[in-house]
């Protein structure tokens, strides 16, 4: 979907899901995203504008951010479930993701793709097993001048039991997936 104006995407109920390819938000525009992506679906965000994620509950879907800004401010539901996205990918060096509240995603499900991008922790502390990055374009910053943040990197044992061999066109099931390409 292409957005050239300020817009709110929401369903009849807080649990409404949206399945699709992606959104493009024009420069200077903001789209409030208040729907869920189903498990296994990936929302792709492009365009220089802002995608403001402020739905309710736990979103099981993923997002890949290639341009502009995504602000994560998902609200907890009545049971306390809260997650903006299951997995977050930041790519192209033109994308920024800002954490606007606690419990927006599992830091171990964050990855920086080709040329990386910027994660602004915005005063929120995070603990990682490791930072997943493709190259040196990954940046983790804190642009909140009033609140410091702590990043903890625990590290993991990269033993054989953690590595998952997968066929070339399979979707990754782990951040330690290794792809096998059979050129026959």
Q: Where are the domains of the chain?
A: 2-157
The answer to whether 32 and 7 are in contact (CB under 8 A) is yes
Contacts of 142 (CB under 8 A, 6+ apart): 120, 121, 122, 123, 148, 149
Give the separation between CA 96 and CA 108, rounded to whole angstroms.
18
Neighbours of 95 (CB within 10 A): 24
The SS3 of residue 161 is helix
pLDDT in tens, the chain (184 residues): 999 999 999 999 878 888 877 999 999 999 999 999 889 899 999 999 999 999 999 999 999 999 999 999 999 999 999 999 999 999 999 999 999 999 999 999 999 999 999 999 999 999 998 888 888 899 999 999 999 999 999 987 777 776 777 777 777 666 667 777 777 7
pTM here? 0.84
């Amino acid at each position: 979907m292409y957005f050239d104006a300020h817009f709110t995407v929401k369903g009849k109920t807080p649990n409404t899901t949206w399945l699709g390819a992606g959104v493009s938000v024009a420069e200077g525009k903001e789209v409030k995203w208040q729907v869920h992506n189903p498990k296994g679906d990936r929302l792709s965000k492009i365009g220089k504008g802002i995608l403001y994620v402020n739905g309710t509950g736990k979103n099981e879907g993923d997002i890949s951010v290639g341009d502009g800004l995504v602000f994560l401010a998902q609200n907890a539901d009545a049971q306390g479930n809260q997650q903006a996205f299951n997995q977050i990918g930041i790519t192209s060096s033109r994308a920024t993701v800002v954490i606007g509240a606690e419990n927006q995603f599992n830091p171990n499900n964050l990855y920086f793709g080709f040329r990386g991008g910027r994660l602004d922790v915005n005063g929120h502390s995070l603990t990682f097993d490791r930072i997943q990055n493709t190259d040196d374009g990954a940046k983790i910053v804190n642009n909140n001048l009033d609140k410091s943040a702590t990043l903890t990197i625990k590290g993991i044992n990269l033993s054989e039991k953690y590595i998952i061999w997968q066929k070339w066109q399979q979707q990754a099931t782990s951040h330690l997936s290794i792809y096998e390409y059979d050129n026959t």
